Amino acid sequence: MTFEGTVLSDKLQEKVLLEELQVAGLTSRDQNLPEPVSVQHGTGNSGKPLHYYLNYSGLNQTFSYPYASGTDLLTHRQVEKSQNITLSPWDLVIVEEK
């Protein structure tokens, strides 16, 4: 349990809350995505997990892909775990795990 006895900046408050969520076991592998990037998960017809990343901003957004290796279904390029992915403005990537 954490008690705050002061007013924190937005950035520091975010770090405190993230740490508390991690301690409580309430975080996911998607927790560190840039704010404008949204992710959804599903299962394809093949039964393999799908990860949909959408960039809801006018700027490039880069993040580290946290799941098992797979294929970008739009470009057919391989995506490796921990690989950096850069989404162009208003772009998306759909990764199907192997």
Tell me the mean pLDDT in the region 10-15. 91
Q: Are residues 60 and 83 in the same domain?
A: yes
What per-residue confidence (pLDDT) applies to 28? 86
Q: Are residues 38 and 82 in the same domain?
A: yes
What per-residue confidence (pLDDT) applies to 17? 87
Amino acid at 20: E
Q: Are residues 24 and 45 in the same domain?
A: no
Write down the H helix ranges in the chain: 10-23
Amino acid at 13: Q
What are the Cα distances from residue 17, in Å, to 1, 4, 10, 34, 73?
A: 11, 11, 11, 16, 35
Amino acid at 10: D
What total number of domains does the chain contain? 2
What per-residue confidence (pLDDT) applies to 52? 98
Domain that holds residue 41: 32-97
Read off the pLDDT of residues 38-81 as tens digits, 9 standing for 90 and up: 999 999 999 999 999 999 999 999 999 999 999 999 999 999 99
Angle at 52 between CA 42 and CA 40, to 5 degrees: 55
Task: Name the pTM for this structure.
Answer: 0.78
Would you mind telling me the total number of residues written for the chain in this entry? 98
What per-residue confidence (pLDDT) applies to 57? 98
